[in-house]
Amino acid sequence: MINVGIVGGTGYTGVELLRLLVQHPEVNIQVITSRSEAGIEVAEIFTNLRGHINLKFSDPAESMLDTCDLVFFATPNGTAMQQTEALINANVKVIDLAADFRIKSIVEWEKWYGMKHACPDLVSEAVYGLPEVNRTQIKTARLVANPGCYPTAVQLGFLPLIEAGIVDIDHLIADVKSGVSGAGRKAAVHTLHAEASDNFKAYSASGHRHLPEITQGLSNISDKPVGLTFVPHLVPMIRGIHATLYATLTKDIDLQKLYEERYADEAFVDVLPHGEHPETRSVRGSNLCRIAVHRPQNSNTVVILSVTDNLVKGAAGQAIQNMNLMFNLPETMGINQVPLLP
Amino acid sequence: MINVGIVGGTGYTGVELLRLLVQHPEVNIQVITSRSEAGIEVAEIFTNLRGHINLKFSDPAESMLDTCDLVFFATPNGTAMQQTEALINANVKVIDLAADFRIKSIVEWEKWYGMKHACPDLVSEAVYGLPEVNRTQIKTARLVANPGCYPTAVQLGFLPLIEAGIVDIDHLIADVKSGVSGAGRKAAVHTLHAEASDNFKAYSASGHRHLPEITQGLSNISDKPVGLTFVPHLVPMIRGIHATLYATLTKDIDLQKLYEERYADEAFVDVLPHGEHPETRSVRGSNLCRIAVHRPQNSNTVVILSVTDNLVKGAAGQAIQNMNLMFNLPETMGINQVPLLP
Amino acid sequence: MINVGIVGGTGYTGVELLRLLVQHPEVNIQVITSRSEAGIEVAEIFTNLRGHINLKFSDPAESMLDTCDLVFFATPNGTAMQQTEALINANVKVIDLAADFRIKSIVEWEKWYGMKHACPDLVSEAVYGLPEVNRTQIKTARLVANPGCYPTAVQLGFLPLIEAGIVDIDHLIADVKSGVSGAGRKAAVHTLHAEASDNFKAYSASGHRHLPEITQGLSNISDKPVGLTFVPHLVPMIRGIHATLYATLTKDIDLQKLYEERYADEAFVDVLPHGEHPETRSVRGSNLCRIAVHRPQNSNTVVILSVTDNLVKGAAGQAIQNMNLMFNLPETMGINQVPLLP
Amino acid sequence: MINVGIVGGTGYTGVELLRLLVQHPEVNIQVITSRSEAGIEVAEIFTNLRGHINLKFSDPAESMLDTCDLVFFATPNGTAMQQTEALINANVKVIDLAADFRIKSIVEWEKWYGMKHACPDLVSEAVYGLPEVNRTQIKTARLVANPGCYPTAVQLGFLPLIEAGIVDIDHLIADVKSGVSGAGRKAAVHTLHAEASDNFKAYSASGHRHLPEITQGLSNISDKPVGLTFVPHLVPMIRGIHATLYATLTKDIDLQKLYEERYADEAFVDVLPHGEHPETRSVRGSNLCRIAVHRPQNSNTVVILSVTDNLVKGAAGQAIQNMNLMFNLPETMGINQVPLLP
Q: C181–D342: do the CB atoms touch at under 8 Å?
A: yes
Q: Is the pLDDT of residue A194 over 90?
A: yes
Q: Return the sign of the alpha-carbon dihedral for residues B307, B310, B312, B313.
A: positive
Q: B277–C230: do the CB atoms touch at under 8 Å?
A: no
Catalytic residues of B: 149
Chains adjacent to B (≥3 CB pairs closer than 8 angstroms): A, C, D
Rounded mean pLDDT, B153-172: 98
Q: D240–A199: do the CB atoms touch at under 8 Å?
A: yes
Burial C289-307 (b: 16+ CB within 10 A, else e): bbbbbbbbeeebbbbbbbb
Residue of B nearest to D193 (CA): B193
Per DSSP, what are the bridge partners of residue C68?
none
Rounded mean pLDDT, A124-136: 98
Q: D180–B194: do the CB atoms touch at under 8 Å?
A: yes
The count of C-alpha atoms lying within 13 angstroms of the C-alpha of C196, restricted to the half-sphere facing its C-beta, is 29
User: What is the structure's pLDDT at A93?
Assistant: 98
Taking CB atoms and an 8 Å cutoff, what residues of chain A touch C199? none
Q: How many residues are there in chain C?
A: 342
Residue of D nearest to A171 (CA): D301
What type of residue sits at position D176? Answer: V
Q: Is the pLDDT of residue B16 over 90?
A: yes
Report the residue from D23, D198, D338 with minimal CB separation from C48. Answer: D338
Per DSSP, what are the bridge partners of residue D4?
D29, D70
Taking CB atoms and an 8 Å cutoff, what residues of chain A touch D303? 205, 229, 231
For an interface test with A, the pick among B17, B44, B50 (most A C-beta atoms closer than 10 Å) comes out as B50
Share of chain C above pLDDT 90, in %: 98
Q: C181–D341: do the CB atoms touch at under 8 Å?
A: no
Q: C194–A238: do the CB atoms touch at under 8 Å?
A: yes
Q: D342–C285: do the CB atoms touch at under 8 Å?
A: no
Name the strand (E) or helix (H) holding B294. strand B289-294
Q: C193–A196: do the CB atoms touch at under 8 Å?
A: yes
Taking CB atoms and an 8 Å cutoff, what residues of chain D touch B237? 197
Residue of C nearest to D341 (CA): C48
Taking CB atoms and an 8 Å cutoff, what residues of chain B touch C307? 200-201
Q: What distance in Å separates the CA atoms of residue C33 and residue B284, rounded to the nearest whole number?
A: 44
User: What is the structure's pLDDT at D62?
Assistant: 87
- CA-based Rg of chain A, rounded to a whole angstrom? 19
Taking CB atoms and an 8 Å cutoff, what residues of chain B touch A341? 15, 19, 46-48
What type of residue sits at position A76? Answer: P
Per DSSP, what are the bridge partners of residue A128?
A145
Q: What distance in Å separates the CA atoms of residue B322 and residue C284, rounded to the nearest whole number?
A: 44
Q: C180–A192: do the CB atoms touch at under 8 Å?
A: yes
Catalytic residues of D: 149
Q: D229–A246: do the CB atoms touch at under 8 Å?
A: yes
Q: What distance in Å separates the CA atoms of residue C137 and residue C126, rounded to the nearest whole number?
A: 10
Q: Is the pLDDT of residue C61 over 90?
A: no
Report the residue from B206, B229, B240 with minimal CB separation from C246. Answer: B229
- List per-residue pLDDT tens for chain D, 342 residues long: 999 999 998 999 999 999 999 999 999 999 999 988 999 999 999 999 999 999 999 998 888 999 999 999 999 999 999 999 999 999 999 999 999 999 999 999 999 999 999 999 999 999 999 999 999 999 999 999 999 999 999 999 999 999 999 999 999 999 999 999 999 999 999 999 999 999 999 999 999 999 999 999 999 999 999 999 999 999 999 999 999 999 999 999 999 999 999 999 999 999 999 999 999 999 999 999 999 999 999 999 999 999 999 999 999 999 999 999 999 999 999 999 999 999
Residues in CB range of C30: below 8 A, 6 or more apart: C3, C4, C5, C67, C68
User: What is the structure's pLDDT at D76?
Assistant: 95
State yes or no: cis peptide before C342, omega within 30 of 0: yes
Do B320 and B17 meet the contact criterion of CB atoms below 8 Å apart? yes
Tens digits of residue pLDDT in B244-255: 999 999 999 999
Taking CB atoms and an 8 Å cutoff, what residues of chain C touch A198? 238
Rounded mean pLDDT, A23-39: 95
Closest approach of chain C CAs to the CA of D341, in angstroms? 6
User: What is the structure's pLDDT at A230?
Assistant: 98
Q: How confident is the model at residue C120 (pLDDT cuts 50, 70, 90)?
A: very high
Q: How many residues are there in chain A?
A: 342
- Give the closest residue to B106 by CA, choosing from B93, B95, B116: B116
Report the residue from D12, D189, D198 with minimal CB separation from B238. Answer: D198
Q: Is the pLDDT of residue A259 over 90?
A: yes
Report the residue from A194, A237, A284 with minimal CB separation from D236. Answer: A237
Report the residue from D171, D200, D277 with minimal CB separation from A201. Answer: D277
Q: How confident is the model at residue A224 (pLDDT cuts 50, 70, 90)?
A: very high
Rounded mean pLDDT, C301-318: 98
User: What is the structure's pLDDT at C207?
Assistant: 92
Q: What distance in Å separates the CA atoms of residue A7 and residue A60, rounded to the nearest whole number?
A: 7
Q: Return the sign of the alpha-carbon dihedral for residues B259, B263, B267, B268.
A: negative
Q: What distance in Å separates the CA atoms of residue C107 and residue A202, rounded to the nearest whole number?
A: 50
Do D290 and D270 meet the contact criterion of CB atoms below 8 Å apart? yes
Residue of B nearest to C274 (CA): B206
Chains adjacent to A (≥3 CB pairs closer than 8 angstroms): B, C, D
What type of residue sits at position C62? Answer: E
Taking CB atoms and an 8 Å cutoff, what residues of chain D touch B197? 180, 193, 197, 236-238
pTM for the model stands at 0.97
Q: What distance in Å separates the CA atoms of residue C240 and residue C150, rounded to the nearest whole number?
A: 10
Rounded mean pLDDT, A171-192: 97
Taking CB atoms and an 8 Å cutoff, what residues of chain B touch D185? 189, 192, 194-195
User: What is the structure's pLDDT at A136?
Assistant: 98
What type of residue sits at position A71? Answer: V
User: What is the structure's pLDDT at B62?
Assistant: 87
Q: Chain B residues with CB-CB distance to A under 8 A? A: 12, 15, 19, 22-23, 46-52, 181, 185, 197-198, 238-239, 270, 272, 278-279, 281-286, 288, 290, 311, 336-342
Q: What distance in Å separates the CA atoms of residue A84 and residue D226, rounded to the nearest whole number?
A: 54
User: What is the structure's pLDDT at A9?
Assistant: 86
